Structure 1
Amino acid sequence: MDSLRKQLAETQDALHKKTTQVRELRVKYTEELNAWKQEKVGFDQKLRRLEAEIQQLRQENAATGSSAKLPPTPVEGTKNVGGGLNLIPAPTLIDEAMVTTVKAEGGDDEKVVITRAAMQEAEEKFKKISEELAEKTKLCDSIQRRFPPPSCSVKIPELNFTDDMVIIRWEKLRGLVRTLTLERFNHTIQPKLVPEKSRSEFEALTRHWKSYMSNEKLTCYIFRALIWRYLYTCLLRKYWQVWGREHGDACVNLANLFSVKASDNELHGWRVHTLRLIHQTCKLDAGIMAEVTNKILEATKLFAIDISTEELKKKLSEIVAAAAELTTIFGRSHYQTLMTDKPHSQLNYGFPYRLETMELKGRFGSHTIVDLMVTPCLLKRDPDYAALVKADVIC
């Protein structure tokens, strides 16, 4: 198989070179043909001008009665065949060259000489280029028939799962997070007891985190949003990494390289094909999932009630495993998540409420400005973004 791949690569490389040569020959042929046409037009004009001058001289000769012999007109000494001028040898004053006079810009006459040898050389050169072009074209056609090039059109492969299947998995993950936060994080917490690291994480979710901590009905929501924030930033939007950091970094570097010239559809098609191949040949990276689990555990274990650290870690591992499964689907399809006001945005809160992508779970104030997004929304790109499952938000 490797030998065949190598032969195919060599043949495709040779085909590329021959194609380049053919293109260069075609350009050269066009340039030579245009130059020849221009020379022919100029020559015809000069010949007509010479005919007029010879005719004028004949008339003047006849009027003066001179017996000097003038060269025959082109009607006598030339014959037009196939649109070109073929000189027929004749006893004329101009034997080896045809001489015409043209007016230069300064008013002086300029002699232009076109010899039979020059015309014959140009015709032979043209014929040689035409024959070479025909041979190269025939060779390229033969190679293309043996090794047809891949299609340049970008086609996203058919998915192995439907919208309903993805929504079921998504709702299962939301249910796991919701159940854990309702059972273990549904109690008030004094803000002064919150460590500095946790303060910054809660501040990233909402500026009013102290009010949420003091309200028993809202505390579970802020921890639900915290868990989703880790799932979103570490897994759901980093689908390259779920099969291993080594594979992920290599794919990200390639994607950055391709994004310079490739279109969004081309890049998306390449990503889908690549990650499907990786999914078939590689297993999910246990180290990545363990790392995400430990991050969520460190952020939440101080605030959980009536549960041991090991039991909490077990439940979080189940949540991360479900999120990793969804991540593989997102990487291999046109589904994705959104936990901001728009794709690729870095905003976490403080953006307008949008009915088409957000489901209002509670109102914390009088303005419809998103203060806390509890869960991401599930999007489908087909071809534009459409919300399959809305995000849970609190305004």
Structure 2
Amino acid sequence: MPSATASPHADAAACVLDRDGVGSLVRELRARGRTVVGPTERDGAIVLAELESADELPYGWGVELEAGRYRTRRRADTAAFAHSAGPQSWKNFLHPERVRQWTADRAPDGGLTVRAERPEPVSFAFLGVRPCDLRAVQIQDRVMLGGRHRDDAYGERRAGAFLVVVECTEPGATCFCASMDTGPAARPGYDLALTEVVDEAGHRFLARAGTEEGADVLASLPHRPADDITRTRAREGVEAAAGRMGRTMPETDLRALLAGTLDAERWNDVAARCLTCGNCTMACPTCFCTTTEDVTDLTGDHAERWRRWESCYDLEFTHLPGGSVRSSGRSRYRQWLTHKLGTWWDQFDSSGCVGCGRCIVWCPVGIDITEEAHALHREALEGGAGGGEDAAS
């Protein structure tokens, strides 16, 4: 759901922005009334926050990632986007963690006034969207807007969002977007796409438009025609990134694999390590489950309903009068993984995983979704797994 129709300029010759050109991009987007959100270094992490200028981008910062580990580090160059996915995703802005839905106040005569909460209109510009996260936004679009139960609040936030994708040239140790076919090159759906190049010729960005609005914004910026060296370095950087992924998924039909390994012994192994904390679902850019909470003040004269993120790892997530449907950590981890890689296809015609690796990094005990998939695949090949177990066990 790009912010404008596909542009006839999308396949036209790319151009080059220098570092000052990215500064002009932020100024131009802000001048058009947009709230620019992008990466910045803060409190030992690369976080997403509103940017007042491009000077706040994490120039010269990189990250070191591993299962259950995240550290920022200084780079030897001035690259602004040579870092992997941080603790947040664009979901935090399009599908916020906590939203008030309505308030109710009791009148002196005993009547009740209920006011629906309408979100303040925001025209976002997301700068630095990774290709895997672009795919995650598109998946969220399908979930939130593509069925009978449309989320209008999400639709309002998403409708005007201007997406500036930055292609990945330096994947992290937990990245596997190449296995999920979501990166490291940008796919259609962006307004602007940038590829950062830092070499002996300087610091610059190969830029191209994907929509009419993107072409209009790009035309307003100081730029020069793309030269062959910049084109080549940009292409080589993205191609090299595809071959340097830190993780892979098994080369098999993951949907069929998960459907055929419901009673695999591996689920017991992962259950012995999983804390069922839900960190993976909170960090995941596509997990969308929510619950509602009603709260009142001490007088009982004022009440509010809030919607907040929920996790399938929560014991109360499937609570029924007879108890929780999935009472064991084994069943709750299996629910998450089989939905993410398998039954998501049945609901939404795609995988729910984009290969960003956040669930690996932010798991406090370092459980690795790719390791679990490979283990299930090995067990299936060895004939030690099959279907038929009750999903609640």
TM range (shorter): under 0.3
Name the structure with the higher helix share.
1
TM-score by length of 1: 0.22
TM-score for the superposition, normalised by structure 2:
0.22
Larger radius of gyration: 1
The answer to which structure has the higher strand fraction is: 2
